[in-house]
Chains A and B, each alone.
Chain A
Amino acid sequence: MEAYSGSRQHGWRKWLLNRFVLVPAAILAVAGAWDLYASAHDDGLVIGQVLDAQGKPVEGAEVTLWVFSFTTFAENRSVKTGSDGSFRITGNPSHHIQLSAAKPGIGASQRIPIRLYFRSQNTKLAAPLVLPGKA
């Protein structure tokens, strides 16, 4: 009967070091690393700047966050820009958002669509929001 028990000395190598274990393990490792990265960067932070038509920072402009809701974008929250035209929105709950800026007398910017790789991903706008008028 012992003859049918098989070789035990290479048992764990045979069961662990094969493509049916290594490939799923590699996929799980990548997924785990992605989860760790996402959990460390999901504060819902959106950072950017608002400029006028001449490229000067606009203070006191209202920046609005629009969040994709089923089929349309719904207004979620607004913040005011600082003296250097920068803004910082916290608590973005979505992965699919739009941003717009407006200030009476200067006008309103176009809505800029922003796609994120996971919900509440921290992001910094690559290009500023531009108002059509002069500050």
Chain B
Amino acid sequence: MRRSPTWPIHLALIAVCFVMLVPFYWVLKTSVSGENIFTFPPSIIPRNPHLFYYVDVWYAIPFARYFLNSVIVSVITIAANVVFNAMAGYALTREFRGKGFILILFLSCMMVPFQATIIPAYLITGQLGLLNSYVGLALPQFSTIICIFVFKASFDAIPGSLIDAAKVDGLPEWRIVWTIMLPLAKSAMATNVILSFIWSWNNFLWPLIMTRTPEMQTLPLGLARFLSYQEDTTGALYAFCIMVLAPGILLFLLAQKEFIQGLTSGATKG
């Protein structure tokens, strides 16, 4: 049987990739040229490119401080997500009374938007004395239901005989999770890291509500502050967007293999 050539598929995929990358290229191009987005005809290649808009952003607001705040909050969020979601995911792989109810409860909670629970979240954070703190900024995202299910799907694919063997050897439950389940669920872990990072990194509403001082603000708030400062924002605004986007894109590129595996694990059977 003669195999059909694959180049038409690759050509089509390259064309689709090109279309999807155009907006990113446009943001990058505008960040180094400052060209007005309404310029006609638009130039594909940036005219007189330079990096001074990035310098403007760096000095217009305390960018380094906001960046550090975002990094700290994201690291806390990621660590909490991996630990709590792994524990919850492992618990959901075990059999216990009311498991079905818990699963339905989790699924139904996914339909409640954060905006609907933001007042209780604020009151609880206030009662804990965590307003205007890094832990308080990360607190509502300590555990996310989607990521719990990602861990559950990954743990479900691990043979139960491994867990049984570990129990026979006398391993406690937490060590089973730490030394057996997690090393075998690296893709789920990468998915957790990337998703929790992106959600934490882009979070605007919660930091807006619970931070009291400019020193505790994160990058999305910095972007809003920057927009209120600058009049001619085209180049600098796009440069700011690139500076905010870069860490997320870098993290995704670093862990994309595991991320895709994590999202698709448990999606197929047999």
Residue numbers of A with Cβ under 8 A of B are 1, 3-6, 19-20, 23, 70-71, 95-96, 115-119
Contact of A71 among B179, B231, B254 (CB under 8 A): B231
Using a CB–CB cutoff of 8 Å, the interface residues on chain B facing chain A are 50-52, 55-56, 59, 166, 169-171, 175, 179-180, 229, 231, 250, 254-255
Q: Is there contact, CB below 8 Å, between B254 and A95?
A: no
Known A115-B50, A115-B52, A119-B59; contact A4-B166, beta-carbon cutoff 8 A = yes
Closest beta carbon of chain A to B251's beta carbon, Å: 9
> Closest residue of chain A to B180, judged by CB?
A4
B230 nearest CB neighbor, chain A only = A71
CB pair A1 B52 closer than 8 Å: no
CB closest residue in chain B, given A19: B254
> Known contacts A71-B231, A95-B59, A96-B56: does B250 contact A1 (CB below 8 Å)?
no
Residues from chain A with a CB closer than 8 A to the CB of B55 are 95-96, 115-118
Chain A: which residue is nearest B176 at the CB level?
A: A4
Which chain B residue shows the least CB distance to A18?
Answer: B254
B250 to chain A: which residues have CB within 8 Å?
23
With A117-B55, A118-B55 as contacts: A23 and B254 at CB distance below 8 Å: yes
B158 to nearest A CB, angstroms? 15
Closest residue of chain B to A94, judged by CB? B59
Q: A1-B171, A119-B59 are in contact. List 14 more A-B contacts (CB 8 A).
A: A1-B169, A3-B169, A4-B169, A4-B175, A20-B254, A23-B250, A23-B254, A70-B229, A71-B231, A95-B55, A95-B59, A96-B55, A115-B50, A115-B55
A4: chain B residues within 8 A (beta carbon): 166, 169, 171, 175, 179-180
A5 to B171, CA, bound (A): 11
Query: What residues on B are CB-neighbors of A5 within 8 Å?
Result: 179
Q: Which residues of B contact A23 (CB under 8 A)?
A: 250, 254
Minimum Cβ distance to chain B for residue A56 (Å): 31
Q: How far is the CA of A60 from the CA of B157 in the complex (A)?
A: 83
B-side contacts of A96, CB under 8 Å: 52, 55-56
* Closest chain A CB from B263 CB (angstroms): 19
A71 to B179, CA, bound (A): 58
A6 and B179 in contact, given A1-B171, A96-B56, A115-B52 (Cβ under 8 angstroms): yes
A71 / chain B contacts, CB cutoff of 8 Å: 231
6 CB-based A-B contacts, threshold 8 Å? A1-B170, A4-B175, A70-B229, A95-B56, A117-B51, A117-B52
CA distance in complex: A3, B255 (Å): 29
A residues within 8 A CB of B170?
Answer: 1
B201 to chain A, nearest CB (A): 15
For A19, list chain B residues within 8 Å (CB): 254
Q: How far is the CA of A115 from the CA of B58 in the complex (A)?
A: 14
Q: How far is the CA of A119 from the CA of B231 in the complex (A)?
A: 21
Q: Which residues of A sit under 8 angstroms from B255, Cβ to Cβ?
A: 20
Q: Shortest CB–CB separation between residue A107 and chain B, in angstroms?
A: 29
Contacts of B169 in A (CB 8 A): 1, 3-4
